[in-house]
Structure 1
Amino acid sequence: MNSLTILAFAAVAFIGIATPGPTVLLALTNGSRHGISRSVYGMLGAVLSDFVLIGAVALGLGALLAASEFWFSVVKWVGVGYLAFLGIMLLRSKGSLGQSLNATDNGTGSRLSLFLKSFLVAVTNPKGYLFFSAFLPQFVVPSAPQVEQYAVLAVVFASIDFLIMLGYAVLGSQAVRLLKQNGALWLDRICGGALLTLAGSLAFYRRAAS
Structure 2
Amino acid sequence: MSLAMILPMSAFALASSISPGPVNLVCLASGTRYPISQGLIFATGATLGFIVLFVAVGLGLYSVLAVVPGFTQALRWAGVAFLLYLSFRLVQDDGRLAEGEARKAPGFVAGALMQWANPKAWLASASGIGAYTRGADLEEVVIFAALYLPICWLSLGSWVYAGAFLRQYIRRPAVLRTINRILAAMLAASCIYLLVE
| TM-score calculated relative to the size of structure 2 | 0.89
**Taking structure 1 as reference, are residues 196 and 102 closer, same or farther at Cα in structure 2, changes over 3 Å only?**
farther
Paired residues for 1:157-176 under 5 Å: 157-176=148-167
Q: Which runs of 5+ in 2 are unaligned?
A: none
Q: Which runs of 5+ in 1 are unaligned?
A: 206-210
Query: Do 1:43 and 1:115's aligned partners in 2 also have CA atoms closer than 8 Å?
Result: yes
1:184-204 Cα distance to aligned partner (Å, 9 max, x none): 323321221111111222122
Paired residues for 1:24-173 under 5 Å: 24-68=24-68, 70-98=70-98, 101-104=99-102, 106=103, 108-109=104-105, 113-141=106-134, 146-173=137-164
Q: Alignment length, in residue pairs?
A: 196
Counterpart-to-counterpart distance in 1, 2:162 and 2:123: 30
Equivalent residue letter for 1:13:
A
Name the counterpart of 1:179: 170
**Taking structure 1 as reference, are residues 172 and 126 closer, same or farther at Cα in structure 2, changes over 3 Å only?**
closer
Counterpart-to-counterpart distance in 1, 2:80 and 2:17: 20
Query: Do 2:21 and 2:120's aligned partners in 1 also have CA atoms closer than 8 Å?
Result: no
CA apart distance, 1:153: 0.9
Counterpart-to-counterpart distance in 2, 1:9 and 1:102: 43
Q: Which of the residues 185, 192, 195 maps onto 1:200?
A: 192
Query: Do 2:25 and 2:183's aligned partners in 1 also have CA atoms closer than 8 Å?
Result: yes
1:161-202 Cα distance to aligned partner (Å, 9 max, x none): 111111111111111111222343233212211111112221
* 1:151 aligned counterpart, secondary structure: helix
Query: Do 1:66 and 1:130's aligned partners in 2 also have CA atoms closer than 8 Å?
Result: no
Counterpart-to-counterpart distance in 1, 2:79 and 2:101: 26
Aligned-pair Cα RMSD in Å: 2.1
| TM-score calculated relative to the size of structure 1 | 0.84
Equivalent residue letter for 2:151:
I
Counterpart-to-counterpart distance in 2, 1:21 and 1:127: 7
Equivalent residue letter for 1:164:
S
Counterpart-to-counterpart distance in 2, 1:169 and 1:188: 14
